[in-house]
Amino acid sequence: MTQQLAQDLAPQLTQFQHNRSAATTDQATGAAGTPFQPTALEKQLFAETKSAIGKWQESPANREKLASLPGMTSEELRGFFHSLLAAPEFVQMNALVDKHRSSPAADISFPLKAVSAGIDGSLVLIIGVQGSIGVAVDPTDPTNYSEDVLYASGQIEIGVGEGGETGVVVGFWNVAPIDLGGTSYGWEVEIDDFGGGYVEASYTNFNQTGFIGVSVSLDAGEEDGAEGEASYTLVWSATPIYQPPAQNYMIIKSIYCNDNSESGHDEVYFFFTIDNGTRYRYPSQGEFSMAKGDTWNAGRSIRFNSQVYVQLFDQDDTSSDDPLGSCTYTASSVPSSTTVSGSGGEYTLSAVLNPVWNAYK
Amino acid sequence: MGNTAFTLTQISCAGTSESGHDEVMILWQADAGMAHLFPAGRAAVSMEDGDTWSSVNLQMSFVNDCLVSLYDQDSSLDPKLADYLVSYDYTPDSMPATVTLTNPNGAQYTLTISNVSITK
């Protein structure tokens, strides 16, 4: 297990273990209703997926990549799974995904809202998960990293040091990537003349959702042992929130409204672009209502090397959002107070660079 | 560099951002690193004035800060969307046992933490 990845995921794994334990006490009733019956198009999709996985795993270079997974950071894992879905071996599968999305209801048994790619098996060398870890994307915009999630599903074996065979698993889901989390139950889907491979339908009892999707692999993984076995799936990083390590650390402690840009309140949010690269939003969803005299204790920490470009906006339901001003912080200049203005509004940002904490002295 | 650990034990609601309930979810992020959403999936906790979510029990640790944000997940909207409610940035120098947070939309939530451990 890599130290960075272990550190990143340790809190998640603790929660994962807690929820996984709870899941095993539930009744595996998910498949008690109507079992999943794939349409002809879906059988074709699953068969092509199985074939693509097989071709991909035949390549020595790709097997070498699989072997290198334990050394990857979470962001590298994320990139790896995205590249896997875009690999030449999966071109036909992706074409069938597009066909599925545009097909009439009679030709499909579920709407395709997420496609996942991961590795399945005994993954204790990576993050201590026995099951699957991977990425799930929106099939309408599969290369948009801001819409994806990382997931871990199956059992948890924190502290166990033995690994085992791993293989690629691809999933097709009728829920959005962010909704893959929670407890589900897997049942093998019997498909005539499928030949090899393993197709598993997943069901959840939560909110009476029922069938949530299908995963395809070459072999039944560690999580597929018993029919109806409970599995817990954790998802995270639905939007670009994670920031890679950097040389500097700053916190935008608060934002004070000297004057709002419109009558009533401004609905304030801000973007921050790190080192001319990734642009992040805070809050990641929604806004904070502010009028003259209000303070928003944002507490937004930012890792950067050379500079951070911050842009304030007033969210507007009926037209494009109104800019409220911007500023650039650099490694040599992070004023404790910076006033910006735009669209008639004026705001003061309070920030600190590389804070030294009294509690650690 | 030191390390700070704590447990977010409970969340109390004394006001919601909209009429009826907020569907509360916790997004927390230590040291601007990996973000964590709790509970997983769509299992947000429905809260209104007077409610206490007493089984949070989330253990967190950080070096510089841990930003804990509450979101209201509105099932009538796109599932990817949620409304920001309030947040608190825990730092080694600011670890209040309870902190009450408000936003102008009417939301008022109190975060309670315990087991604060600071390693120098």
Query: Is pLDDT above 50 for A32?
Result: no
Contact call for A181 and B2, based on CB within 8 A: no
| Predicted local confidence at residue A10, as pLDDT | 53
Nearest Cα neighbor of A153 from A173, A54, B95 is: A173
Q: Are strands A166-173 and A248-259 parallel, antiparallel or unpaired?
A: unpaired
Query: Is pLDDT above 90 for A53?
Result: yes
Contact call for B64 and A355, based on CB within 8 A: yes
Query: Is pLDDT above 60 for B8?
Result: yes
| Predicted local confidence at residue A9, as pLDDT | 55
A258/A255 Cα distance (integer angstroms): 10
- In sequence order, the 6+-apart residues with CB closer than 8 A to the CB of B94 are none
| Predicted local confidence at residue A217, as pLDDT | 86
Higher pLDDT, A357 or A24: A357
Least confident of A5-19, A219-233, A255-269, A314-328: A5-19
Residues in chain B: 120
B36, B41, B82 member nearest A285 (Cβ): B82
Instruction: Report yes or no: B60 at the A interface, CB cutoff 8 Å.
Output: yes
B52/A354 Cα distance (integer angstroms): 36
Chain B nearest-CA distance from A344, in A, is 21
Higher pLDDT, A263 or B114: B114
| Predicted local confidence at residue A155, as pLDDT | 55
Contact call for A206 and B42, based on CB within 8 A: yes
Nearest Cα neighbor of B90 from B82, B98, B102, B79 is: B98
Task: Specify whether the CB–CB gap between B93 and B117 falls below 8 A.
Answer: no
Task: Specify whether the CB–CB gap between B57 and B115 falls below 8 A.
Answer: no
Q: Are strands B22-30 and B45-47 parallel, antiparallel or unpaired?
A: antiparallel
Higher pLDDT, B23 or A195: B23
pTM across the whole model:
0.59
Query: Is pLDDT above 50 for A31?
Result: no
Task: Specify whether the CB–CB gap between A132 and A221 falls below 8 A.
Answer: yes
β partners of residue A352: A251
Percent of chain B at pLDDT > 70 equals 91
Contact call for A285 and B71, based on CB within 8 A: yes
Residue keyed to tokens 């507490």: A299
pLDDT band, residue A2 (cuts 50/70/90): very low
Annotate chain A with three-state secondary structure.
CCHHHHHHHHHHHHHHHHHHHHHCCCCCCHHHCCCCCCCHHHHHHHHHHHHHHHHHHHCHHHHHHHHHHHHCCHHHHHHHHHHHHCCHHHHHHHHHHHHHHHCCHHHCCCCCCEEEEEEEEEECCCCCEEEEEEEEECCCCCCCHHHCEEEEEEEECCCCCCCCCEEEEEEEECCCHHHHCEEEEEEECCCCCCCCCEEEEEEECHHHCEEEEEEEECCCCHHHCCCCEEEEEEEECCCCCCCCCCCEEEEEEEEEEEECCCCCCEEEEEEEEECCCCEEEECCCCCEEECCCCEECCCEEEEECCEEEEEEEECCCCCCCEEEEEEEEECCECCCEEEEEECCEEEEEEEEECCCCHHHC
| Predicted local confidence at residue A71, as pLDDT | 67
Chain A nearest-CA distance from B50, in A, is 23
From residue A245, alpha-carbon distances to A216, A231, B35, B117 in Å are 35, 32, 14, 24
Torsion angle, CA of A34/A40/A43/A45, rounded to 10 degrees? -120
Instruction: Report yes or no: B55 at the A interface, CB cutoff 8 Å.
Output: no
- Segment B68-79, tens digit of pLDDT: 999 988 654 343
Instruction: Report yes or no: B97 at the A interface, CB cutoff 8 Å.
Output: no
Least confident of A189-193, A238-242, A336-340, B82-86: A238-242
Higher pLDDT, A42 or A188: A42
Task: Specify whether the CB–CB gap between B117 and B111 falls below 8 A.
Answer: no
From residue A314, alpha-carbon distances to A161, A273, A294 in Å are 50, 18, 15
Calculate the average pLDDT of chain A. Answer: 80
β partners of residue B98: B112
B82, B87, B93 member nearest A358 (Cβ): B93
Query: Is pLDDT above 60 for A225?
Result: no
A216/A325 Cα distance (integer angstroms): 49
Higher pLDDT, A202 or B87: B87
A184/A28 Cα distance (integer angstroms): 8
Burial of B43 (0-12, 13-18, 19+ CB in 10 A): middle
- Segment A82-138, tens digit of pLDDT: 889 989 999 999 999 999 999 999 999 999 989 999 887 655 434 445 577 788 888
Percent of chain B at pLDDT > 90 equals 65
Query: Is pLDDT above 70 for A161?
Result: no
pLDDT band, residue A164 (cuts 50/70/90): low
| Predicted local confidence at residue A119, as pLDDT | 84
Query: Is pLDDT above 90 for A78?
Result: no
A206/B61 Cα distance (integer angstroms): 30
Least confident of A64-73, A141-150, B1-10, B39-48: A141-150
The residue among A301, A305, A314, A361 with the most chain B CBs within 10 A of its CB, best to mutate, is A301
DSSP assignment, residue B77? S
B83/A282 Cα distance (integer angstroms): 12
Alpha carbons within 13 A on the beta-carbon side of A197: 28
Task: Specify whether the CB–CB gap between B98 and B43 falls below 8 A.
Answer: no
Calculate the average pLDDT of chain B. Answer: 88
| Predicted local confidence at residue A323, as pLDDT | 95
Average pLDDT, stretch B46-56?
95
A182, A297, A360 member nearest B41 (Cβ): A182
A234/A118 Cα distance (integer angstroms): 13
Contact call for A357 and B59, based on CB within 8 A: no
A65/A338 Cα distance (integer angstroms): 47
| Predicted local confidence at residue B81, as pLDDT | 59
Percent of chain A at pLDDT > 90 equals 43
Peptide bond connecting B39 to the previous residue in cis, omega within 30 degrees of 0: yes
Tokens for A188? 């093998």
Task: Specify whether the CB–CB gap between A128 and A185 falls below 8 A.
Answer: no
Task: Specify whether the CB–CB gap between B16 and B24 falls below 8 A.
Answer: no
Q: Which residues of B touch A235 (CB under 8 A)?
A: 37, 40-41
Residue keyed to tokens 């107070």: A337
Least confident of A67-71, A227-231, A340-344: A227-231
| Predicted local confidence at residue A22, as pLDDT | 46
- Segment B99-117, tens digit of pLDDT: 999 998 899 999 999 999 9
| Predicted local confidence at residue A147, as pLDDT | 59
Instruction: Report yes or no: B111 at the A interface, CB cutoff 8 Å.
Output: no
Instruction: Report yes or no: B75 at the A interface, CB cutoff 8 Å.
Output: no
